[in-house]
Amino acid sequence: MKKSKRIVVISDLHCGHRIGLTPPDYAPRNKTKWSKAQRALWREYNRMVKEHSPVDVLFVLGDCIDGRGEKSGSTELITTDRQIQCQMAADCINMWNAPKIAMVFGTAYHAGQREDWESIVAEMVQADKIGGQEWVDVNGICFDLKHFTSMSQIPHGFGTSLARDTWLWNTIWQIRKEQPKVDVFLRGHVHNFGYIGNDSFLAVTCPALQGLGSKFGARIPSRRVDFGIMWFDTPGKHGGLFDWDWDIVTVKEQRPKVLSF
């Protein structure tokens, strides 16, 4: 029987953003509401690494860096230097000390319109592979990794778009023998945790490692923002069984203040 393996899934770090995942060496020294929340989220991430290690396989689902921030005139960034953003992301990933790392590219707006900056992150952490979409077998469980998925703005429509983007299209690809049969679909991008499935598949939109505080997130979408990670334990037994769970937190520094007149 194969050895049990622990898989951790992280997504949407957005290093360089004011509320992105920020190692202390790169954190601003001021005491704005953003810096306070940033430090609180970092403490939670540090706890997660300690609590859920050791890790055999790490999945990184893209948007490791926030990029140049053109749409907001870079006003939301703590640094516009993407080399520094890449180093921040690499430091965050290396904390897991994972012997195997699989990554997928994030959106071009964040990770590079003309160049793939996440290729640099992959080199820094010595990832085994990075691509647009990756399939990884761990103890007989096939995982499908991809950054983007579309998402309904209504809570009760969540499962329809996710099933279409994952299980349905995978079934069609299988007919032509151009994709493997997938057991677990993992998607990032939407910064919102949720899942659907049955006895033959599980599809998940993973929590993010960027907090609540982008101008786009505050003014446009209506969904929740979930900060955290996920993990899977694959015991290596027959039958394709696995255990999985998540660690999602809300820090008090991110709670809204209600005006009282």
Q: For the domain that residue 203 is a member of, what is the CATH number?
A: 3.60.21.10
- Residue 200 structural domain: 5-254
Q: Rounded to an integer, what distance in angstroms lies between the CA atom of residue 7 and that of residue 182?
A: 16
- pLDDT recorded at residue 29: 87
**Does the pLDDT at position 175 exceed 80?**
yes
Give the helix/strand (H/E) hosting 175: helix 169-175
**The pLDDT of residue 201:** 96
In this structure, are residues 8 and 98 in contact, taking their beta carbons and an 8 Å threshold? yes
Weakest mean pLDDT among 117-131, 172-186, 209-223: 209-223
Mean pLDDT value across residues 231-237: 88
Task: Taking residues 94-105, report their average pLDDT.
Answer: 98
Asked if residue 88 is part of any domain, the answer here is yes
Domain presence at residue 204:
yes
* Bridge pairing between strands 194-197 and 202-205: antiparallel
Instruction: Judge whether residue 180 has pLDDT over 90.
Output: yes
Cα–Cα distance measured from residue 92 to residue 65, given in angstroms and rounded to the nearest whole number: 11
What pLDDT does 156 receive? Answer: 84
In a domain, 261, yes or no: no
Position 214 in a domain: yes
Residue 118 lies in a domain: yes
Q: Is residue 134 assigned to a domain?
A: yes
- 259 is a domain residue: no
Does 242 fall in a domain? yes
Q: Report the C-alpha gap between 217 and 67 in whole angstroms.
A: 16
- State the average pLDDT over residues 184-212: 96
The SS3 assignment for 142 reads strand
DSSP designation for 71: G
Per-residue pLDDT, 93: 99
Q: How many domains would you assign to the chain?
A: 1
